[in-house]
Structure 1
Amino acid sequence: MDSRTSASAAPASPLAIFRDHLSRGELAYQYDPASGRPVFHPRVIGPGTGNDDLQWRVSTGKGTIHAVTVISPRGEAPYNVVLVDMDEGFRLMSRVEGLAPEEVRIGLRVRMQVHQPQDGQPPYPVFRPEAA
């Protein structure tokens, strides 16, 4: 059978690899040796370089809140949305748990944990304040 038509011969997508790492409690990201920079969200080619030989690395899961906003939907509990600058040099959007939404501040050190939705949806990273 031709490798283009064989499902078992097809390489895993970057998103599938990312989710596989999350299922093991790891926050994975890619690194582009052509630019010397981290790449996040998972991609097939490096932005700006077109490099298709991106390397997978695992983050320590530590970062700093770059920006935060609190959403207060009418009739629902407020929640936060944050941009986290990871120590490895990439940024991602998520939320901080374990603090009241209005207590989350720019500069707060956080650590990633994997949230596994109960409805069978894929896991995703969330953050908690780093222990002092």
Structure 2
Amino acid sequence: MSTMKPRPHIDHISRGFWEAAREGRLTVQRCDDCAHQHYPGAPICPNCLSDKQSWAPASGRGTLLSWVRFHRAYWDGFRDDLPYNVILVGLEEGPLMLSNLIGAEPESLKIGDPLQVSFEAVDETTTLPKFRPA
């Protein structure tokens, strides 16, 4: 019997991000008052505290900043994926994003290498942004 992996909690703040991901588009939250771009979404801008936020297109390009390999399944749904890699990506727009590396092993890359987003449909409501070497 397969145990499902946890799914993101989609609420009124994150909905725009997940809808864009389903369409194969990466977005970051942008403050409509000061233009600060941030991720993940928040009810107020971390720069100016405005509550006027929208989801803006992102290039999908980033830089590998760090990575870790998990050898333990903290959720049963990840047991069959062990070991799996989680990476820290510095998006071209500035925000940081945690994701997974696909198409390479992190040992074959070096910190600072360019990455490009790729999307993986998990089910009819969830599509995950993952990154591959650019």
TM-score by length of 1: 0.77
* Deviation of 1:104 (Å): 3.9
Separation in structure 1 between the aligned mates of residue 83 and residue 108 of structure 2, nearest angstrom: 12
The equivalent residue for 1:127 is 131
Letter in 2 for 1:111: Q
Could you tell me the percent identity over the aligned residues? 25
**1:14 corresponding residue in structure 2:** 13
Once the two structures are superposed, what CA deviation does each residue of 1:78-129 show, in whole Å capped at 9, x if it has no partner? Answer: 22111100000110101110112432431121101111115x5611210011
Specify the alignment match of 1:3 in structure 2.
Answer: none
Deviation at 1:34, TM superposition (A): 4.4
Task: Indicate yes or no: 2:122 matched with 1:117.
Answer: yes
Q: What SS does the corresponding residue of 2:14 show, helix, strand or coil? A: helix
Cα gap change, 1:67 to 1:101, in 2 (>3 Å): closer
Q: Which residue of 2 aligns with 1:67?
A: 66
- Does residue 1:89 correspond to 2:94, yes or no? yes
Q: CA deviation at 1:35?
A: 4.5
Task: Read off the aligned partner of 1:53 and give its amino acid letter.
Answer: K
| CA shift for structure 1 position 66 | 0.7
SS state at 1:112 partner? strand
Contact 2:17 2:26 in 1 (8 A): yes
Q: Which runs of 5+ in 1 are unaligned?
A: 1-11
Distance 2:68 2:87 in 1: 7
CA-based RMSD of the aligned residues comes to 2.3
Give me the whole-angstrom Cα distance separating, in 2, the residues matched to 1:21 and 1:112.
13
Unpaired segments ≥5 residues, structure 2: 1-10, 74-78
The TM-score normalised by the length of structure 2 is: 0.76
Q: 100, 105, 109: which one pairs with 1:100?
A: 105
Specify the code of the residue in structure 1 equivalent to 2:14.
Answer: L
How much has 1:58 moved relative to structure 2? 0.5
What is residue 79 of structure 1 aligned with on the other side?
84
Name the CA distance, whole Å, in 2 between partners of 1:48 and 1:42: 13
Tell which structure's C-alpha radius of gyration is larger: 1
